[in-house]
Structure 1
């Protein structure tokens, strides 16, 4: 990456923000993600709106990878549990549901690296945490197109706009819509006629966990693989024609390869994490499911470590992925813990539930009685220097376990301290 042009801000913004704390929305000039410009204007007092919590007000240029070089090299394999940390982790869970699985890695500078876990190989449906695999796929396929220029990869993300089409239905996650010229702002579900840049689709996929956006970006990864260096010039008619004429079995195999191969490249085994189905019914009708989906805390921890080591595709891609994870629209579940208010949190949450009629039980959102997966992945960087990676997966039936997740976040933060 050429850092000389990184996060340039117009002069009037520099004056406006003089003396203020920096924050991640200074990435608008780099990415063209319009919701970031709105946050930039909110933070500068130009317009009214809700400000992000203190821990979410870092400059993107202050975001770095924590495990570069020799320190990260010691983590080519997951370490054995630290006895003291493992004892502390074990003490948290006896009163909670048996389904909880956790992996915790303390990488605080000035300390030995410490690891602890619980049921790290137990398989769960990853839900929206699986969108992190799509994130890795995006940067992996971009590297195939422009192997020698990260600047060109970013320019493609910023400049190429694509329409959602039938891939986005059905979906319920609302995405932010902002017009910098008129000031119009709204939150609504993605429509078939919506057009966003690849960067904005990626942001919608991670920051608000849009299933529609995830299917669109998975689609674009398939097209990148299929068309290679010709992809930047592919029209929507050509793309539609490709999906109509390519045999379903071939599409399924290609879809599986683009999202799962990057995981295998960083040492995550198939039974530790894989994706098998696109995130919307509309997309799955075009590209059939293949192989099913599964996630483990072990597999997801390997992902976080590889990203912090700069090993997902390359160092520049890993850093950009970490920045995308920082730009979460709002903090929920694990990340909503008051203990993390002042911490930088790089976060993804996911859930999936299903209900059947049951006497004496009324189904509600995130309260499935067949399955009720709720998952959290986070990198936490506290102002006092504490830095740790955590993965929490659960399948607590008949209960919305969001409160348990942010309570656990507080307890884990305290024991790392």
Structure 2
């Protein structure tokens, strides 16, 4: 069966408030990418974050674990080319499931400890359950874009960097609608403005990719997805002037546009060894993007997400440069949220993506709210923890999803992160 035959399910129900949040953001919220990389990437916010951390301008200092520079971001399994997930350790799995308490049946979880890569430990609980990945799907979008860029410049890393740094992206109708804020740095005023993207906002492709993964902006993600399909469709002619975009978005039929989108999104995952029936991002992150280019539903399991992280750590996700670039994009360098906000991880380097998807029926519970859905209440966390940052004694990977109705899932994931860190750091001692 074709992986593109699914149907997106999000209809309105009378009396039900539908709230879909890919990764909620507040002023000063989670941001990624090493702070010393502004000149290399053209990601301007990195300059402001570095100045704030140095005390030059007002702003919060980052966690001790967020101070690695770009050359310190290392892949941990490059000398283990034959590495694969080991068999599940029954005792470790039992202990980890115990941390979830009575809500354990509503969780899916995969944990891989590679503190000693020659003696890895693996635990898994409901690892094959398929769920909509929410904003974690933005990681799959990044993989697809990095694959498309590698296909264009297979042997020229500097050309890949130039494409990311010099391609200018201007927000258009594809960003509608999204309330997630992004940090906009003014070098002249030496200050940030944090607001949702607006039509006409221009930045380079690297910055839009950073906003996609760090600020989890749905608008930025849809702008990146548009660039992905343009690159996929026009090939060496990319970037094309706006007047040529109509060849794709106007002249192709509805079904032809769908095929272009799904080929651009799913084929790279399949080429990297993933079953797109268990791992895929199938659609735009904004309603306008979905109107312009139809897709399919999105799926993930914690096991396939773990396999993606392992492939990245081996340097085999697209290739070594792309793997390391993705890990840099996931490195948290500002306020930590959800799973990553655990105080136990303060001194750790954390590479992280999360997503939330919930629905409230106010007739059943008027107090139902953010992260506490009573119809469904999905929370997804993907994290790599290296503790302490820079010279870690403990390195482990976590992928988890939950659907615990009525509970604050952000707090639940943070609490689990604290308990798991304490368990794993003492496990080998």
CA RMSD across the alignment: 1.6
> Within the alignment, does 1:391 sit opposite 2:407 as a pair?
no
In the alignment, structure 1 residue 79 sits paired with structure 2 residue 86: yes
Unaligned segments of structure 2, at least 5 residues: 1-32
Structure-2 residue corresponding to 1:277: 283
Equivalent pair of 1:274/1:294 in contact (CA under 8 Å): yes
SS of residue in 2 equivalent to 1:115: strand
What's the offset of the Cα at 1:94?
3.2
**Is 1:239–2:255 an aligned residue pair?**
no
Q: Are residues 74 and 357 of structure 1, via their aligned partners in 2, closer, same or farther at CA, if it must alter by over 3 Å? A: same
Of 180, 185, 208, which residue of structure 2 is paired with 1:178?
185
Aligned partners of 2:96, 2:267: CA distance in 1, in Å? 32
Q: Deviations over 1:252-306 (max 9, x none)?
A: 122122222222223321232112221000101100122x111110111011001
Gaps of 5+ in 1: 1-22
Q: What corresponds to 1:36 in structure 2?
A: 46
Q: Distance in 2 between matches of 1:52 and 1:100?
A: 31
Of the structure 1 ranges 331-340 and 147-156, higher mean CA displacement relative to structure 2 is found in: 147-156
**Distance between the aligned counterparts of 2:117 and 2:253, measured in 1?**
55
TM-score, scaled to structure 1: 0.90
Structure-2 separation of matches of 1:399 and 1:361: 14
Report if aligned partners of 2:280, 2:300 keep a CA contact under 8 Å in 1. yes
How far does residue 45 in structure 1 lie from its aligned partner after superposition? 2.8
Alpha-carbon distance in 2 for matches of 1:223, 1:360: 45
Identify if the C-alpha distance between structure 1 residues 412 and 327 changes in structure 2 by more than 3 Å, giving closer, same or farther. Answer: closer
Q: Are residue 250 (structure 1) and residue 256 (structure 2) matched?
A: yes
Deviation string, structure 1 residues 105-131 (Cα, Å, up to 9, x no partner): 000037611110100001111000000
- Partner Cα distance (1:392, 1:319) in 2: 22
SS in 1 for 2:101: coil
C-alpha deviation, 1:147, in angstroms? 1.6
| Aligned pairs (5 A) from 1:160-175 | 160-175=167-182
Of 371, 374, 377, 1:369 maps to 374
Counterpart CA distance in 1 for 2:199 and 2:359 is 27
Residue of structure 2 in register with 1:320 after alignment: 325
Q: C-alpha separation between the residues in 2 aligned to 1:154 and 1:240?
A: 27
Alignment of 1:317-356 (within 5 A): 317-327=322-332, 329-356=334-361
Question: Helix, strand or coil: the match of 2:174?
Answer: helix
Structure 2: how far apart are the matches of 1:98 and 1:175? Answer: 36
Aligned residue number for residue 414 of structure 1: 422
Q: Distance in 1 between matches of 2:231 and 2:81?
A: 31
CA contact (8 A) 2:67 2:333 kept: no
**1:36-115 equivalence runs, <5 A:** 36-69=46-79, 71-75=80-84, 78-109=85-116, 112-115=119-122
Q: Distance in 2 between the 1:244 and 1:84 partners?
A: 57
Shift of 1:328: 5.2
Using the TM superposition, give the Cα deviation of residue 88 of structure 1 relative to its aligned residue in structure 2, in angstroms.
1.9
Q: When you count helix as a share of all residues, which structure comes out higher?
A: 1
Aligned partners of 1:210 and 1:95: how far apart in 2? Answer: 34
State whether residues 380 and 387 of structure 1, in contact with CA within 8 Å, keep that contact through their aligned partners in structure 2. yes
Q: Retained in 1: the 8 A contact 2:63–2:334?
A: no
CA–CA distance in 2 between the matches of 1:180 and 1:33? Answer: 12
Q: Could you say what secondary structure the match of 1:323 adopts?
A: helix
- After superposition, residues 112-127 of structure 1 pair within 5 angstroms as 112-127=119-134
| C-alpha distance in 2 between matches for 1:368 and 1:208 | 23
TM-score of the pair, normalised by structure 2? 0.88
**What's the CA shift for 1:327?**
4.2
1:142 alignment partner in structure 2: 149
